Amino acid sequence: MTEITAPKSPVTAEQFADEIREQLKYTQNVTTEQATPADVYVAASKAVRNHLADSWFKTQADTVNGNTKAVGYLSAEFLMGKQLRNALLNAGLTEQFDKAVEALGFKVQDVVDAEYEPGLGNGGLGRLAACFIDSLASLGVPAFGYGIQYKYGIFKQEFDKDGKQVETPDYWLANEEPWGHIDYNRDQKVSFGGKVVENADGTKTWQPAWSVRAVPVDYLVPGYKSGRVNTLRLWSAKSYDEFDLLAFNRSEYMEAVTPQVKAENISKILYPEDSTKVGKELRLEQQYFFVSASLHDAIRVFYPGQDKPDLTTFPNKIVFQLNDTHPVIGIPELMRILIDEYGYDWDTAWSITTKTFNYTCHTLLPEALEVWPASLIGELLPRHLEIIEKINAQFEDELKSKGVDKNTIKDMAIYTGDAVRMAYLATYGGSHVNGVAELHSQLLKDVTLKNFSDVYPDKFTNVTNGVTPRRFVKLANPRLSDLITEGLGTDKWLSDLEMLKGLEPLAKDDEFVKKFAAVKKANKVDFAAYAKREYGFELDPNTMFNTMVKRLHEYKRQSLKILSVISTYADIKSGKVKAEDVTPRTVFFGAKAAPGYYLAKMTIQLINNVSRVVNNDPDVKGKLAVYFPWNYNVRLAQHLIPATDLDEQISQAGKEASGTGNMKFALNGAMTVGTLDGANVEIRERVGAENFFLFGMTVDEVEKKYAEGYNPASYYEADPRLKHAIDMVADGTFSNGDRNAYSPLVADWLTKDWFMTLADFSAYMDIQSEIEALYADELEWNRKALLNVANSGYFSSDRSMEDYLERIWHTAPLAD
């Protein structure tokens, strides 16, 4: 066995400064005098990475040699956020870094600002994956994150002069990126197309038409105070033939690079979330690409140098979690590997495969469940289509033998002859299926996957999402973190978040509540400075900061929020509410819309134009302002969440699987206005109904209304506030008199309104009045906000991971 050295011991600030100097000199090749903040950022990052190297090697060795099963988290998205501050925190080098940078003659802020955030995810699902791998490392559980190193992440969002969203490519690798290490020597070959031939002995051979080289880029995932460093392995697609020499000799330059372009296209771009079916060939190529490479990689890691490994032990070595349906092609791929590459029989292969995989569902919208045309799978992965057909046949037999009726069997088909339903394949091909909040998991069982839960009730479970307190409290909100530590007399809460409960008695202590209020105020002042610097906004930190940040989607109902803002604007302007009765408010929106999502993009345009009109109207100055900082990302979240007084979680009940922003806001001492949806339900249960602003229809009421036949126009007619707000959108108030600018949006509200924004409007306006009344009492507001913090410890992703360990993965941390 190789000798594993102990982790590098912490260093002094002087020593760390020397390490940065050394990196500057020998790897950046600049003198300290020549260096820019960006050079220092790269040098310091590499120095921190070096500090983590020994722990990384030791964790890898223990993972392979230890007797604990590892976790493989397969995800098309990892929305990591910036790395430097997090790595410093977990390496115990924060103070040394701050002092060293000063000693080198730089400003800490400039150095930290030089880091560019990788946007390798769309939103909740990708950020959840990042929180989970942070928590696994912090708990000391051996784990691999497996995904794709997209060359272009989620698009950069800008707004044009009309307030429309403009998407530009986000080339995040334009400058040196010190965190990922590309490992050309641990590559994998991934093949596509061609045909399947039957051999004389009845076995099958897939003869693919083309192959791609999958090269891993490794990111270290340091645990907080665990001494463990796990691996995030993101695959990058390269071509085997750099260019086609034959074509090149004929001087056909463009043709010569075609195979290279085709191969490298696979990891070129992240699909911007589209909750409707997008049957794109490239998307399937991406999914198969990273999943095939990852499964082969796991075999390489756990059976090093073995030609004929005993893969019946594979499920004891590693358990794979499928993050939504995106990696579900892994099920037929593992079957193929076991049967075609290692010669196992079908039943043995099936037994290994079903023990290896579990599936997490993140949606309730049936249209968001992936379904692939069989013809596409047949063309791209002909052997996999055969395997899927056979899985489906076996499944039908199993259902028959269980006495399931014919029609139900048909409804449950994994393979319909035309299409492959990935969620069904995942449910049958894995051991467990989980939703991401109690309500969501219940609805999965009762509605979305009801037939499956009837036949396989034991497969279904819940694991409520969580967020990492290291990034979203400690790093994002150092003031609150210090106050919590002061209140609890220890900082152990950062790895045991339920300890926040100890703050509960302090909610009775007015002095402590005042300190808590002062933290929020200081964060708002900070955010105002940040927003001035980054966006040129002039914010008033003496107003209520009211925030709605999340992807733009009809079901999330940004429309409800903007209609209420319009209504408030109209009331103040007309003098209907007296100036002295208005609670001054600054409303923030942050949201990207999928580039092809017409109504979502129009909603963005409307919000921007409401912002323009309201912010320039002297009649409401100091009372109401609306800001839409563009390009919402993890960095902006870390600045805005700690500065927020009131958070909006106002999706139609039964549509938001969980939400994780809601948890981040509660942990940072914001109050929530929300519906009984997703994890809101559990947040409210924990923080107490009296500390949560609930409004709107429940899931049952929504269902009833759909059944009765929903008529949005009747709500428009019944509530004059709503009518007036919609009329203002229609009459050109927010489009320089153009009455057509928003007509598709207005028409949708009045005739369809699928997510019942109009039906919930009155309740929403009423709760806003209650909110304003409470906000007027600063001490009471902050007492309640503090109780939100004290009772949100459950929403740590450490707890989520413990639930997965117990309910799904059946594994444990490594021994020391």
Q: Which chain residues interact with ligand 26Q by CB under 6 A?
A: 122-125, 128, 271, 273-274, 278, 283, 362, 368, 370, 436, 465, 656-660, 678
Q: Which of 42, 436 has the CB closer to ligand 26Q?
A: 436
Q: Which of 295, 437 has the CB closer to ligand 26Q?
A: 437
Using DSSP, how many helices (H) and how many strands (E) does the chain show? 34, 22
Q: Which of 387, 436 has the CB closer to ligand 26Q?
A: 436
What's the rounded Cα separation, in Å, for the pair 170 and 140? 34
Q: Output the six-digit token pair for 698.
A: 């429940």
**Active site (annotated) includes residue 660:** yes
Tell me the CA distances in angstroms from 653 to 233, 418, 446, 558, 658, one per residue in order: 37, 33, 15, 14, 11
What's the rounded Cα separation, in Å, for the pair 691 and 774? 11
Closest CB 519 distance from ligand 26Q, rounded Å: 27
What's the rounded Cα separation, in Å, for the pair 410 and 636? 47
Q: Which of 426, 507 has the CB closer to ligand 26Q?
A: 426
Closest residue to ligand 26Q: CB criterion: 124
Closest CB 278 distance from ligand 26Q, rounded Å: 5
Q: What's phi and psi for 82, nearest 5 deg?
A: -65, 150
Closest CB 271 distance from ligand 26Q, rounded Å: 4
Closest CB 621 distance from ligand 26Q, rounded Å: 37
Closest CB 362 distance from ligand 26Q, rounded Å: 4
Helix, strand or coil, per DSSP, at residue 624: strand
Residue tagged active-site, from 360, 660, 675, 733: 660
Q: Output the six-digit token pair for 525.
A: 């002042």
- Sign of the C-alpha dihedral computed for residues 724, 730, 734 and 736 taken in this order: negative
Q: Which of 431, 658 has the CB closer to ligand 26Q?
A: 658
- Contact in structure between 471 and 201 (CB atoms under 8 Å): no
Residue tagged active-site, from 664, 684, 783, 799: 664
The type of residue at 805 is L
Closest CB 78 distance from ligand 26Q, rounded Å: 12
Residue tagged active-site, from 69, 127, 362, 783: 362
**Active site (annotated) includes residue 551:** yes
Kindly tell me the burial class for residue 468, based on how many C-beta atoms sit within 10 Å of its own C-beta (0-12, 13-18, 19 or more): buried
What's the rounded Cα separation, in Å, for the pair 216 and 185? 9
**CB under 8 Å to 255, separation ≥6 — which residues?**
244, 247
Helix, strand or coil, per DSSP, at residue 125: helix
What's the rounded Cα separation, in Å, for the pair 442 and 684? 18
Output DSSP code: residue 805: I
Q: Which of 183, 446 has the CB closer to ligand 26Q?
A: 446
Rg of the chain's alpha carbons, rounded to an integer? 27
**Active site (annotated) includes residue 556:** yes
The type of residue at 26 is Y
What's the rounded Cα separation, in Å, for the pair 266 and 234? 13
3-state helix, strand, coil in the chain (%, to 5): 55, 15, 35
**Active site (annotated) includes residue 810:** no
Closest CB 655 distance from ligand 26Q, rounded Å: 9
**Active site (annotated) includes residue 51:** no
Which pairs with CB-CB distance under 8 Å and at least 24 residues apart come from 685-692? 686/791, 686/792, 686/794, 687/787, 687/788, 687/791, 687/792, 688/787, 688/791, 690/784, 691/784, 691/787, 691/788, 691/791, 692/788
Q: Which of 196, 376 has the CB closer to ligand 26Q?
A: 376
Closest CB 606 distance from ligand 26Q, rounded Å: 22
- Contact in structure between 665 and 672 (CB atoms under 8 Å): yes
* DSSP string covering 738-751: -TTTTHHHHHHHHH
The 10 Å Cβ neighbour count of residue 471 is 25
**Measured between alpha carbons, how far apart are the two ends of the chain, in Å?**
18
Q: What is the 3-state secondary structure (H, E, C) of 640-668?
A: HHHHCCEEEECCCCCCCCCCCHHHHHHHC
Residue tagged active-site, from 21, 440, 550, 557: 550
**Active site (annotated) includes residue 459:** no
- Contact in structure between 766 and 695 (CB atoms under 8 Å): yes
**CB under 8 Å to 541, separation ≥6 — which residues?**
521, 524, 525, 527, 528
Q: Which of 271, 456 has the CB closer to ligand 26Q?
A: 271
Residue tagged active-site, from 46, 156, 520, 556: 556
Closest CB 790 distance from ligand 26Q, rounded Å: 23
Closest CB 148 distance from ligand 26Q, rounded Å: 12
Closest CB 269 distance from ligand 26Q, rounded Å: 11
Angle at the Cα of 263 from the Cα atoms of 259 and 264, rounded to 5 degrees:
115
Q: Which of 83, 360 has the CB closer to ligand 26Q?
A: 360
The 10 Å Cβ neighbour count of residue 542 is 12
Q: Which of 326, 784 has the CB closer to ligand 26Q?
A: 326
Q: Which of 123, 332 has the CB closer to ligand 26Q?
A: 123
Q: Which of 463, 620 has the CB closer to ligand 26Q?
A: 463
Kindly tell me the burial class for residue 13, based on how many C-beta atoms sit within 10 Å of its own C-beta (0-12, 13-18, 19 or more): middle
Q: Which of 327, 469 has the CB closer to ligand 26Q?
A: 327
Closest CB 657 distance from ligand 26Q, rounded Å: 4
Q: What's phi and psi for 211, nearest 5 deg?
A: -135, 155
- Contact in structure between 792 and 725 (CB atoms under 8 Å): no
Residue tagged active-site, from 383, 524, 551, 561: 551
Closest CB 266 distance from ligand 26Q, rounded Å: 15
Helix, strand or coil, per DSSP, at residue 585: strand
Give the largest CA-CA distance in the chain.
89
Q: Which residues are tagged catalytic? A: 362, 550-551, 556, 660, 664
